Amino acid sequence: MRPGQFDPMEHAGCYFERPPERLVLEGYRGWLAGFETGSVTPWEMTQALYEELLGRVQGRRLVVELSHFVRTLRRCAACPLRSFPFNAHHVCRDECLALGLIAALQHDDEGAARICLSAIACPAVSADVAEAAVFFADALAAARHYLLPIPQGAIEDVLSRSAVGRATIH
């Protein structure tokens, strides 16, 4: 199998059980939870997950890129990011956009990446978020962890469904 290809039978039971998706989704949730609670416990749990799935050295390297990505996303203080708790089996709008952005970057889907970026980052930090996302996506790819592609239409559907309940858009 070439880099970037995926085995559809690997972790066929649930999209969120696949290691690449777990790294992005649980990492995003853990890092946000640390900021929101003021506790290092969620960050330590995220570090443990990364080291479990990637090994100690690679796990530490990727947590640095995850941390930079989430910190950069949070710069738009007027529009706080949302997330579900660890191990939830559903995703919210912002989680979909974070997954969609990283997947789009890994699969060279410029349209999907542009839609995710414009919906999750305000214009003032958009370039910084894009750069941080590229570094995170590339670090995951270097560790041979590729997210499944998320079609642009699926991202647009998430955005149209969430527009009703979301008063502020980044």
**Tens-digit pLDDT string for the chain (170 aa):** 344 444 444 444 566 689 999 999 999 999 999 988 899 999 999 999 999 999 999 999 999 999 999 999 988 754 667 766 666 666 788 888 999 999 999 999 999 999 999 999 988 899 999 999 999 999 999 999 999 999 999 999 888 887 655 544 43
For residues 161 and 121, is the Cβ–Cβ distance under 8 A?
no
How far separated are the first and last CA of the chain, in Å rounded? Answer: 38
Side chain identity at 129, as an amino acid letter?
V
pLDDT at 76: 73
Please report the pLDDT score of residue 35 as a whole number: 87
Q: Where are the domains of the chain?
A: 15-162
DSSP H helices in 13-168: 19-37, 41-54, 56-73, 93-106, 110-120, 126-142, 152-162
Place of tokens 């191990």: 87
pLDDT value of position 6 = 44
Look at residue 164 in the predicted model and tell me its pLDDT: 53
